[in-house]
C-alpha cells in the first residue's frame, strides 16, 4: 500500500509581508543563481526556481506597489 500525499496550499505571507519558507521544499543541496540577483543560493521559491527569500519578498513588494499604482491610475481615468 502506498501513502497518498495531499498537496498543500502555498503558504500565506507572515505579518509584515514576510514569506514563510520553513518547509524543507524550499531547500536544495545544489546551489544555483538566484532568479533576481544572480548570486548562488540553495533556496527555492514555490515553483522550485532558485531565489533568495529576501529577493523574493522584495520582488513581491515591488509587484504589489506597481499593481497599486496601476489601479490608482486606472481609477483616475474613469
Domain map (residue ranges) of the chain: 26-76
- 29 or 75, which is more confident: 29
Distances (CA, A) of 49 to 1, 2, 17, 25: 33, 29, 20, 11
Give Cα separations from 44 to 21, 24, 37, 73 (angstroms). 9, 10, 13, 34
Whole-number pLDDT of residue 69: 82
Residue 78 has pLDDT above 60, yes or no: no
Chain segment 3-54, per-residue pLDDT in tens: 565 655 555 555 556 788 888 999 999 999 999 999 999 999 989 999 999 9
Backbone dihedral angles phi then psi of residue 32, each to the nearest 5 degrees: -140, 160
Q: Whole-prediction pTM value?
A: 0.67
Place of cell 515591488: 62
Amino acid at each position: 500500500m502506498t501513502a497518498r500525499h495531499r498537496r498543500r496550499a502555498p503558504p500565506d505571507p507572515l505579518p509584515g509581508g514576510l514569506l514563510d519558507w520553513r518547509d524543507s521544499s524550499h531547500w536544495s543541496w545544489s546551489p544555483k543563481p538566484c532568479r533576481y540577483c544572480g548570486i548562488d543560493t540553495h533556496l527555492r521559491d514555490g515553483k522550485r526556481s532558485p531565489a533568495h527569500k529576501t529577493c523574493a519578498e522584495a520582488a513581491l513588494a515591488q509587484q504589489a506597489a506597481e499593481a497599486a499604482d496601476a489601479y490608482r491610475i486606472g481609477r483616475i481615468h474613469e
